[in-house]
Amino acid sequence: MDGLKGKVAIVTGGGKGIGRACTLALGREGASVVFADIDRAANRELLAMADEEGLAVQAVAADVADSGEAAQVVDHAAQTFRGVDILVNNVGIQPPSSYVNAVDTPEVLWDRIIDVNLKSFFLMSKFAIPEMRQRGGGVIVNMASVQGLQSMKKVPAYAASKGGILSLTRNLALDFATDNIRVLAICPGGVDTPLQQEAFEASGGDVAELRATLGQAHPLGRTAGPEEIANVLVFLVSDRASFMTGEYVCVDGGINARGTWDE
């Protein structure tokens, strides 16, 4: 597979979960990939996996909600691989303590979720777009969620951050279309990742039962594997999606199509 040969990609929150699957998928398509993650152990683990497959993958340990560190990630890609063509703003947090209503959400927690889930998307785009312009174009894919479109109870900061990502996606698409930069979002449904596992464990219930129940909420009867999101990402960043910009794609097993009359 070499559909992305010669392309340079950045993936935020790339060390685990969906970001890890995206990093590997882009590398397998021939792209050079710089992934940024705050978790150094996860970085080492993924680097070893990528090395084993002979992929051109590098890690930068960074908190991408920090402006200086976000800039360093882009600099690293631009200097090591001489440019940036693809930015996957994937990072996202939903700490177990954040499953409370707005009244019970500490301001500091609200700020952190918005900084990581939304501000980092702005920062990374701000620094990567000038690099893309120099290459004559590029693609940004923002990892939103079905919760940017509909909300469960008690996730005010997370839901707000995901709605914000969809608005930012539309805005960036308009502002940079003439630079040949396409900007898209993916709205995953439930995906089996460490983030989801942590939420199940923190709820105190039976993890297998919780996973099965969440799976049943999806018309396909299960949650997704991270690679099922990465497969769609690979299409969106490829030239096969050349007329797509300013929109989102739900990769959600049909959960968003389900009406209240469904059983």
The catalytic residue positions are 158
Question: What are the φ and ψ backbone dihedral angles of 175, each rounded to 5 degrees?
Answer: -70, -25
CB of 223 to ligand NAD, least distance (A): 7
Structure tokens at 134: 């120099």
Footprint of ligand NAD on 123-182 (CB under 6 A): 143, 145
The amino acid present at 224, given as its one-letter code, is A
State the Cα–Cα distance between residues 24 and 56, nearest whole angstrom.
10
Among 39, 45, 179, 247, binds ligand NAD (CB under 6 A): 39
Q: Which stretch binds ligand NAD (CB under 6 A): 61-69, 77-85, 123-131, 173-181?
A: 61-69
Query: Taking the complex as a whole, how short is the minimal distance between the CB of residue 75 and ligand NAD, in angstroms?
Result: 16
Task: Tell me what percent of the chain is helix, strand and coil, each rounded to the nearest 5.
Answer: 50, 15, 30
Residue 65 binding ligand NAD, by CB under 6 A? yes
H helical segments located in the chain: 17-28, 40-52, 67-81, 107-114, 120-134, 156-176, 194-203, 207-217, 226-237
Q: How far is the CB of 138 from ligand NAD (least distance, A)?
A: 20
| Other CB atoms within 10 Å distance of the CB of residue 167 | 13
Listed in order, strand segments (DSSP E) in 209-255 are 247-251
- Binding residue for ligand NAD, selected from 64, 74, 173, 185, defined by CB under 6 A: 64
Applying CB under 6 A, among 9, 11, 16, 125 the residue interacting with ligand NAD is 16
Q: Which of 218, 200, 217 is nearest to 209 (CA)?
A: 200
C-beta closer to ligand NAD: residue 32 or 145:
145
Residue from 125, 169, 196, 245 touching ligand NAD (CB under 6 A): that is: 196
Longest Cα–Cα distance of the chain, Å, equals 54
- Among 83, 188, 232, 234, which residue interacts with ligand NAD (rule: CB under 6 A)? 188
Residues forming the site for ligand NAD (CB under 6 A): 12-13, 15-19, 36-39, 42, 62-65, 90-93, 116, 143, 145, 188, 190-191, 193-196
